[in-house]
Amino acid sequence: RTNSMGINLANDAQLRDLSTKINAAVKPWSAQPLVPGASAFGGSVKVTNPADRREAVGEYLAASEANVRQALANGVKAQPGWDALPAASRAVILEKAADLLEARTPEYMAMCVKEAGKSLSASVAEVREAVDFLRYYACQARELFAPVKLPGPTGESNQLTLHGRGVFVCISPWNFPLAIYLGQVAAALAAGNAVIAKPAEQTTLVAFAATKLLHEAGIPEDVLQFLPGDGATVGAGLTRDPRVAGVAFTGSNETAWAINRTLAARNSPIASLIAETGGQNALIADSSALPEQVVKDAVASAFDSAGQRCSAARVLFVQDDIADKVMHMLAGAMDELVIGDPGLLSTDVGPVIDEDAKRGLEAHAARMDKEARLIHIAKLPESCANGCFVAPRAYELKSLSQLDREVFGPILHVVRWKADQLDQVINDINGTGFGLTLGIHSRIDATVQHIAKHVRVGNCYVNRNQIGAVVGVQPFGGEGLSGTGPKAGGPHYLPKFATERTLTVNTTAAGGNASLLTLAE
């Protein structure tokens, strides 16, 4: 497949062109439910910039219960026709969408910056990942959804085909409001399902624009519908309906459990649930690791995107022999972080998504101030006063047991370990029940192999940071409390959205196996 185009942020000419296009794209954005036949929507919701809540970004109209019912009826009616369309034809539409999205990169970057508070570099990566998802699942559909001839005795033909399950609900998060949103939707569409998409409430505007782009590319409006709104009205209303054949979800464990219970309580065909949830992601560094590299990768893994990545490092386990040096260097590196407006190229750390997130992180920091040793706290500039900013922090813990949940933000926890405690470190990590990402820093191959063999995680990275999984290269997803699998952006993802059918024909009933006449004597 064609690789997504990047932008050289070190090239002055490209930067000037990008800046002009991003500034031209900024406007008051709006969104509303996209449901053919629907008219009466819910209330209006104002959207403001998380980096400066005084700045209005746009507004959207939330979906009503009537919109949910209409969308389900539309999807059930439209899905058979979409499934009957050859997979190659569905793939062409997704590839056209990828081309359109790539051509409009600055517009979608602007929305990621203003609505989601993502930095410019993160916004470039966001658009590229979305483009890659569209092209990857298009290629996968062509390959996996072609009829497969199966072996059988002479006088019989056997064929296996994949088909869409029906109506799929895609519930996406705010931290990757374009890439994960389009990844879920594209996979469900490629497999022949009708899709009802519910984006996170915090990032409705960019999801609306992405949905309109898919319609422009050729996805029928009744095959892909868009329902913004809260979980109680939209999410619960969809997942409890017996017409829903499957749910793709990325978000918290609590919401995933609620969806699972709701689906299980229905007296209807058992739905497919694909859930990617959280992680208590660790980075293990032994005494052979280069301290400079450990610190560089720990800072990127913990504080990039203000720590709001599913893959972000939450706990750094550092061997006691180098722990003091690493923590000293970590404090110095944190002082170099630029915190502020994500629309500025110089910014390293932007805001967290909203006030609820900020309050939760500050409450955790207050607990850590009492129960752990503060290694360092970065200074927030005065320019952050009107935004949802949380100062990056690092704390030294006595043990991993001091953390009882994932802390989704720019807070890194550090734990020392001695040379004879590696297996205990591994057991402690496995004991959390999470299994999403792991970083290993060591120059000893046997140590790397030992850790990789015994830690139960979905994505393991050695001597690099542990964020930024690439579609088709590092399929992303965890195990245990981190999700159901299969991995997004991997070869096993698309079949989870499909059902299998076999066709067996007794060819002797029509005069025998004509292929035998072509065999050489």
DSSP 141-202: HHHHSS-EEE---TTEEEEEEEEE-SEEEEE--SSSTTHHHHHHHHHHHHTT-EEEEE--GG
- Residue range 20-277+483-502 forms a domain whose CATH class is alpha beta
DSSP class of residue 406 equals -
DSSP secondary structure letters along 439-489: EEE-S-HHHHHHHHHHS--SEEEESS-S--PPTTTS-B---GGGB--PPBT
Q: Torsion angle of alpha carbons 165, 485, 116, 300, nearest 10°?
A: -160
- CA 304 to CA 308: how far, in whole Å? 8
| 3-class SS shares of the chain: helix, strand, coil, % to 5 | 45, 20, 35
For the four alpha carbons of 57, 62, 68 and 73, in that order, the dihedral sign comes to negative
- Edge-to-edge order in the sheet of strand 44-49: 29-31, 52-61, 44-49
Rg (CA), the chain: 25
Q: In the chain, what is the straight-line distance between the N-terminal and C-terminal CA atoms, in Å?
A: 43
Backbone φ, ψ for residue 334 (5° rounding) = -65, -30
CB 166 within 8 A of CB 194: yes
The pLDDT of residue 39 is: 85
pLDDT along the chain (521 residues), means of 10: 94 96 97 95 97 98 98 98 98 98 98 98 98 98 97 95 98 98 98 98 98 98 98 96 98 97 98 97 98 98 98 98 98 98 98 98 98 98 98 98 97 98 98 98 98 98 98 98 98 98 93 65 55
Coil/strand/helix, residue 416: strand
**For the chain, what are the domain ranges?**
20-277+483-502, 282-462
What are the angstrom distances between the C-alpha of 335 and each of 43, 99, 164, 330, 338? Answer: 44, 40, 52, 9, 8
Q: How many helices (H) and strands (E) does the chain have?
A: 14, 18
DSSP class of residue 285 equals E
The pLDDT of residue 520 is: 62
Amino acid identity at 241: D
- CA 304 to CA 410: how far, in whole Å? 8
Chain centroid, CA 2 distance in Å = 21
Q: Torsion angle of alpha carbons 308, 311, 315, 317, nearest 10°?
A: -150
The pLDDT of residue 510 is: 78
The pLDDT of residue 519 is: 63
The pLDDT of residue 518 is: 65
CB 401 within 8 A of CB 407: no
The pLDDT of residue 521 is: 55
- Edge-to-edge order in the sheet of strand 148-150: 148-150, 156-164, 498-506
The pLDDT of residue 516 is: 65
- CA 234 to CA 68: how far, in whole Å? 7
- CA 33 to CA 198: how far, in whole Å? 10
CB 378 within 8 A of CB 334: yes
Instruction: Find where tokens 């830690």 sit.
Output: 455
Where in the sequence numbering do the catalytic residues fall?
276, 310
- CA 407 to CA 254: how far, in whole Å? 14
How many other CB atoms sit within 10 Å of the CB of residue 474?
17
CB 373 within 8 A of CB 392: no
Phi-psi group of 76: left, alpha or beta (phi > 0 → left; psi -120 to 50 → alpha; rest → beta): alpha
- Residue range 282-462 forms a domain whose CATH class is alpha beta
What are the angstrom distances between the C-alpha of 323 and each of 163, 234, 285, 452, 512? Answer: 54, 48, 9, 22, 76
The pLDDT of residue 517 is: 63
- CA 318 to CA 294: how far, in whole Å? 9
pTM, two decimals, is 0.97
